[in-house]
Amino acid sequence: MNDAPRLIDWLDRLASAHVLCVGDVMLDRFVYGEVERISPEAPIPVMHIAREVVTVGGAGNVARNLSALGTATRLFGVVGDDPAGREAAEVLSFESSVSLSLTADGGRPTTVKTRFIAGGQQLLRTDEEQLSALSDGLINKLCGFLTAAVSDGECGALVLSDYGKGLVTDMMIAAAMEAATAAGVPVIVDPKGNDFTRYRGADVITPNRRELSAASRMPADADDEVTAAAHHLITSCGLGAVIATRGAAGMTVVTETDVVHLPALAREVFDVSGAGDTVVATLAAGLAAGMKLADAAQLANVAAGLVVAKVGTAVVRADELADGLGGAPGLAAKIFDRVAVQERVAQWRARGLTVGFTNGCFDIVHPGHISLIEQASAACDRLVVALNDDGSVRRLKGDGRPVQQEDARARVIASLAGVDAVVLFNEDTPMALIEAVRPDVLVKGADYALDEVVGGDLVTSYGGRVVLSDLVDGFSTTDTISRIAG
C-alpha cells in the first residue's frame, strides 16, 4: 500500500483524539463447544459446551474498538436495570480509555445476543430483548447530557450507533446534529432501517450493501450500482458522504464529487460479528484526530480486514493496524494484554489448534530458556508465554531485579520464532492467566515435580496435559548476574 507510511504516521495521533459515542449497548455471549453427534429427538446437532465468553456489542463494541486504538471515548447508552446490564457495565469498566455514561432503565431488559459456535462455525444465535420505547423524559434528559458533552470543546467526532433498540430516536438524532453543527464536530452514523432521511446532516453514514440497497430502493451489487445508490442517498438525505461496506468486495467511499473503491484486505474470514463497529470506530478515531475522510476510510478498511480474521465481537489495536499496513516489525503484534490474549486463543481454538502455555521471569535469556521455549513450542500448535511484570519479579527475586524492564523482556521473548503470544501478569503466580487461557498443554522445566507445577491440577482436570521440559545444565540468570557483578 503506497499510502502506508503516511497512514502509519497517523496511528500515534489516534491516542490524542476524543470521540463521543451514543447508541444501543448490548451484551454479547459466545458459547463455544464441540458437536460430535445428532440428537435422537430431532435432526439437530448436540453441542457439548466447553466455555463461554462475554463481551459487549452495539455501541459498546464501538467504544471497545475506540479504546483499543487508544482514543479517549465517552459512551452514552441505556441498559436494563438487570444482571445483564450490570455485566455490560463491568465489561466496559475494564476499558481504560472509555468514560461511561450508562443509564439503567427498569422499564425494559438489556438486549442479550447469544451465539453458539462449534468448529469455527456459528450454529445458532438467540436474542433476548424487548423493544419498548424509552420514555420521553429519559430521552430529553439524555439529549441534554449529549448536548453538553458535544459542546465541551474536547469532542473531536460524534458517533451515532443505531441498532434500532430505542435510544437513537428522531429527537436524539436532532439534538446530536444541532449540537455537532454548532461545535463543528463531524457526525458518523451507523444506520438502521430504510429511512435515512432521519440522519440528515450527517457527515458520514456507513451502511452495508443490503442496507444501502434497501434505503435507496436501488440495486447495490456492482461498483457502479453502489455508486449510484450512494449518490442518490447523499442528494435525497442531505448526507456528506456514504461509505458502503461490501464484505468480500471491500468498501466504497462516495462523496458528492469523488468515488473510491477499496478492495477487501482480509486473508481469512472467521467471524464478521461486530465488523461494522470496527469500521465506524476507526473512521471516527481518524476523523477526530484530523485525518481526511479518504485516509480514515483506508485505515478503517485495513481494520475491517483484520477484525474478521478474529473470532467473536473483537477489536483491532493500533499496533495491529501498523502491522496490517506493513509498518510494524512484528514484535508488537505478538504482545497482548489479558483480554486480548483470550481473544487470540479463541481464534486459534476455532481453527482446531492446540494451545500451549509456559511462564517465567526471563530476565536475562540464556540457552536454558531457549530450550524450554523450543520444547514448549514443539508440544503445541500455538504457544503463549506468560511473563512476570517488574513488580512481580521484584517480589520474587528481591531488590535489584529485574535487570531488564518488562517491555524489553517482552520484546526479547516475542522475537523468538516459537513464541506466538506474550502476556504480562502482575500476580506472584500465573494461576489467574492459566484459568483465563485454559491451555491444552502446560510446560515447565524438569526442576519441578508434576505436583508442584502451578495450574497443573486445573489443566489435567479438563483433559489437558502437563509437560516437564529437559533442563540445560550450567545456565542460571542468578549466576550470570553474580558473575557480572564480580
The residues that are catalytic are 277
Q: Are 52 and 346 in contact (CB under 8 A)?
A: no
Closest CA to 55 of 24, 76, 74, 29: 29
> Do 362 and 404 touch, CB atoms closer than 8 A?
no
For residues 274 and 56, give the distance between their C-alpha atoms in angstroms, rounded to a whole number: 10
Radius of gyration for the alpha carbons in the chain, expressed in angstroms and rounded: 25
Q: Which residues pair with 102 in a beta bridge?
A: 77
Task: Give the cell for residue 253.
Answer: 467511499
* 99 within 8 A of 74, measured Cβ to Cβ: yes
Report the distance separating Cα 18 and Cα 74, nearest Å. 8
Q: Which three cell numbers stand for residue 463?
A: 483433559
Give CA separation, 86 vs 90, 91, 404, in Å: 6, 9, 40
Q: Which residue has the cell 505478538?
A: 334
List Cα–Cα distances, 380 to 19, 213, 371, in angstroms. Answer: 42, 47, 15
CA 54, CA 271: separation in Å to the nearest integer? 16
| Nearest to 202, CA basis, from 163, 241, 150, 243 | 241
The answer to whether residues 172 and 22 touch, using CB atoms and an 8 Å cutoff, is yes
Tell which phi-psi region holds residue 66, choosing left (phi > 0), alpha (psi between -120 and 50) or beta. Answer: alpha
Q: Which helix (H) or strand (E) holds 204?
A: strand 204-205
Q: For the residues of 35-57, what is the DSSP string, one character each?
A: EEEE-SSSSSEEEEEEEEEEEEE
| Per-residue burial over 11-37, b = 16 or more CB atoms within 10 Å of its CB, e = otherwise | bebbeebbbbbbbbbbbbbbbbbeeee
